[in-house]
Amino acid sequence: MSQTDLELLRRYAQDNSEDAFAEIVRRHLDLVFSAAMRQIRNSELAQEVAQSAFIELARQAGSLKPDTILSAWLYQVARRKAIDVVRRESRRQLREQVAQELTAMNVAATDWTQIEPLLDEGMHALEEKDRAAVLLRYFERKSLREVAETMGINEDAARKRVSRAVARLREFFGARGVSIAENGLIVAVTGHAVQAAPAGLGATITTAGMLAGKTIAAATATTKAIVMTTLQKGLIGATVAATAIGIYQAREASSWHTQFQQLQQRQGPLTEQLEQLARATNDFAGQLLALRQEKESLQGRTGELLRLRGEVGVLKNQLAEKPKPQQQNTSPVPHAENEITPEDELKLQGIARMNYVREWVLAFSLYAEQNQGRFPTNFDQADPFLREEAKAEAKLKPHEFLPGTPKFGLTPDRFEITYQGSPAALSNASSIIVLREKEPWQNANGSWMRAYAFADGHSEIHRAGDDGFERWEAQHGLASQEQH
């Protein structure tokens, strides 16, 4: 009787059995490769994702739970790694899409072309057990009895679970404008969801998995990496984060045997090099994550900008509705638009300060993208990245914030940079002050106020408490200093 997936995996983890790992690859390679292919639509990158998924399995072979359904676990890992590759390729503008030819089955090709782009998203939307049932029944084409045995339920329960999962998939497709009968969906998924992986890929992955197990056992905990082909070099990035180092040099595939032998002969020096490479790739991945978070933060602040514009509009309407002063003679008098109340002026001051420091910290972020991910140490460094329309206060041009509004003389020397490091090094960028107004000012009720900008790009006007600004600033990354 053939061994189950988990029995094979246990034998591989305990005895480093190449035959056991090869059998696991043979059983699940087509499923993993196809899942990656639907996400990436590039055969070379899909092969890399497949290798990455099985290397991940080799690394975690001894730690999977006893009730793990291996095909479902591999499917999720492949999907996650494929998404990482797509995001990385999108940022580098190196995504290359290739058209897939569909094999004619009992369902029209147009049905599959509508289903294919949404299939993995629909599978992800299913509950875990429903997704496992569909994978076993239609992706791996197992009988209901085999599905029931694998999932530890009776055959009738397996039939109901599969039927319910297919119905939910149909609802998912229907909600997105793809209407297909249940039988048509089953035929489409069975006939097209899993396609044959390129010849030779299974042997390459099997060897990679074996090497992964041997290298991980020999290397230190911080150097869980393998010197292999470019496809395997990419797996170093998969261990620490998504990275582009070496992943595209597929032509070096024939050299991995020699490289591994050299690793065994010169393990000491190579281990040190691998540690350095792991640290470098980890820093690079952190920078990519920080840039992605900064992009999301910039998008999220659109609502705040609209709110401020609305507040300006309200102030403008209030000023327009104020009665003009009576003219006593023909001598010139100030224009009504220039007459604003002290309360209005203080409010406009606060808004102008918030806009001003926000524009500077956005310029800081753009500077960091081109300077090893670090903020500038002075305003002159960030000045080329400051939007021209944001320099009105700095250059003392007529204030365009509201017709008739006085200038407030906001220049860089009235502010100070309080954080010059890397935003990627911060665990909570929204709470770390980057830019601060040097001198506080009083509002209409006599409270002291100060403008701040934070590492995530947003700005605030903070009112001093009973103890001044000191304690609040200390909570937001500033060292204790004398307050006004």
Work out the average pLDDT over 302-331: 59
Q: 55 with 212: CB under 8 angstroms?
A: yes
Output b/e per residue, 336-368; b: 16+ Cβ within 10 A. eeeebeeebebbbbbbbbbbbbbbbbbbbbebb
What percentage of the chain has pLDDT greater than the value 70? Answer: 66
Quick one: pLDDT at residue 193? 86
Q: What is the pLDDT of residues 53-110, one digit of tens each?
A: 999 999 999 999 999 999 999 999 999 999 999 988 877 654 344 333 434 444 444 4
Work out the average pLDDT over 309-317: 66
Amino acid 85 reads: V
Quick one: pLDDT at residue 308? 64
Selection from 43-52, 249-258, 408-417 with the highest mean pLDDT: 43-52
Q: What is the pLDDT of residues 424-468, one digit of tens each?
A: 888 888 889 999 999 998 887 888 999 999 998 898 998 998 788
pLDDT surpassing 50 at residue 238: no
Residues 6+ apart with CB under 8 A from 385: 363, 364, 366, 367
User: For residue 417, what are the β-bridge partners?
Assistant: 435
Q: What is the pLDDT of residues 160-171, one digit of tens each?
A: 999 999 999 999
Task: Identify the sign of the CA torsion 112, 117, 120, 121.
Answer: negative
Angstrom distance (rounded) from CA 283 to CA 289 = 10
Structure tokens at 154: 């009776």
Residue 206: closest CA among 232, 188, 182, 179:
232
Q: 173 with 120: CB under 8 angstroms?
A: no
Cα distance between the two ends of the chain? 82
pLDDT surpassing 70 at residue 483: no
Structure tokens at 272: 């040190």
Amino acid 406 reads: P
Angstrom distance (rounded) from CA 460 to CA 199 = 59
Angstrom distance (rounded) from CA 156 to CA 137 = 14
DSSP annotation of 136 reads I
Give the ranges where 433-475 is alpha helix by DSSP (H).
470-474
Quick one: pLDDT at residue 391? 74
Angstrom distance (rounded) from CA 458 to CA 297 = 8
Radius of gyration, CA atoms only, the chain? 31
Quick one: pLDDT at residue 242? 36
pLDDT surpassing 50 at residue 235: no
* Angle at which helices 201-218 and 230-240 cross, to 10°: 50
Q: 368 with 422: CB under 8 angstroms?
A: yes
Q: What is the pLDDT of residues 244-255, one digit of tens each?
A: 333 333 334 334
Cβ neighbours of 310 (radius 10 Å): 10
pLDDT surpassing 70 at residue 139: yes
